[in-house]
Amino acid sequence: MRLVLLGAPGSGKGTQAARLKDHLQVPHISTGDLLRAEVAAGSPLGLQAKEVMARGELVSDAILLGMLEDRFSRADTRGGFILDGYPRNLAQADALDALLGRIGQPMDYAVQLEVPVELLVERIAGRAKAEGRADDSPESVRTRLRVYDEQTAPVVDFYRRHGQLTVVDGVGSLDEVFNRIVEAIAPEKAVG
Ligand code: AP5
């Protein structure tokens, strides 16, 4: 199963990917998590990315592609993967398509989690209190939502044109959303 989760900040991509990974037995590749690990490690890449991420803007396509190529060179991705946080603009969508073509692993599904903006803001505000992620401040959240609308939303049409898009309602309990995704991508693996 090769799957990409799409959706605005706070739509539940990371939360659902963590559950899908166990269910589908494939690795979860989150470019946000990979970048946060670089920042935490204080690596040169992390130092470049830190301020950009804190502002809620996109880190450069070149950095992301290098990171992704490196991740896909690892053996655990050969049986499939769940990608979360990439692609975030059309250039990244093209680069991913080319990369997956080169390694003979074309995408099976792009799942778009749909959540109204008021709920996105509410969820992120809840996490800001609980976890204090650097880019969850109100100003950065506004930037992340704008960047999503301007640069990432067109990626949804990219996958629609490629016949790979499934839209899932992201409002509801964690279990409800999870079951909707599983039914959309692999009904034979649905629970309950
Ligand atoms: P990234 O880590 O990808 O952040 P994001 O897209 O802004 O996503 P979030 O983590 O906020 O939301 P999510 O959809 O994963 O929701 P979550 O499950 O966490 O990227 C961070 C930054 O890294 C970017 O801004 C950029 O700078 C950089 N970056 C990353 N990838 C890049 C790329 N490809 N190119 C360039 N730059 C890149 O849920 C959110 C909250 O809601 C949680 O508290 C959760 O518990 C809660 N929640 C989830 N589902 C539910 C539910 N059903 N009901 C109630 N609460 C829920």
Verify whether residue 180 is a known catalytic residue.
no
Question: Looking at residue 140, what is its pLDDT?
Answer: 96
Q: Is 21 among the catalytic positions? A: no
The H or E element containing residue 45 is helix 44-55
Q: How far is the CA of 102 from the centre of ligand 1 (A)?
A: 28
For 62, counting Cβ atoms within 10 Å of its Cβ (0-12 exposed, 13-18 middle, 19+ buried), the class is exposed
* CA–CA gap between residue 74 and residue 7 (Å, rounded): 26
Pairing label, strands 109-114, 165-169: parallel
Instruction: Please state, for a pLDDT cut of 70, what percent of the chain lies above it.
Output: 97
- 89-114 residue pLDDT tens: 999 999 999 999 999 999 999 999 99
Active-site residue flag, 13: yes
pLDDT for 186 equals: 77
Spacing, Cα 13 to ligand 1 middle (Å): 6
Torsion over CA: 158, 58, 81, 20 (sign): negative
User: Ligand 1 atom closest to Cα of 32?
Assistant: 2
How far apart, in whole angstroms, are the C-alpha atoms of residue 89 and residue 99? 15
**Placement of tokens 């204090």 in the chain:** 132
What pLDDT shows up at residue 189? 52
Is the CB–ligand 1 distance for residue 86 below 6 Å?
yes
Q: Is the CB of 11 under 6 A from ligand 1?
A: yes
pLDDT band at 188 (very low <50, low <70, confident <90, very high): low
Place of tokens 């409800």: 176
Out of 74, 127, 146, 189, the active site residue is 127
pTM for this model (two decimals): 0.96
Q: Decide if 133 is catalytic.
A: yes
What is the spatial distance between Cα 189 and Cα 187, in angstroms, rounded to a whole number? Answer: 5
* pLDDT tens-place string over residues 14-57: 999 999 999 999 999 999 999 999 999 999 999 999 999 999 99
Tens of pLDDT, residue by residue over 132-144, are: 899 999 999 999 9
pLDDT in tens, 152-161: 999 999 999 9
Hey, whose CA ends up nearest to atom 7 of ligand 1? 9
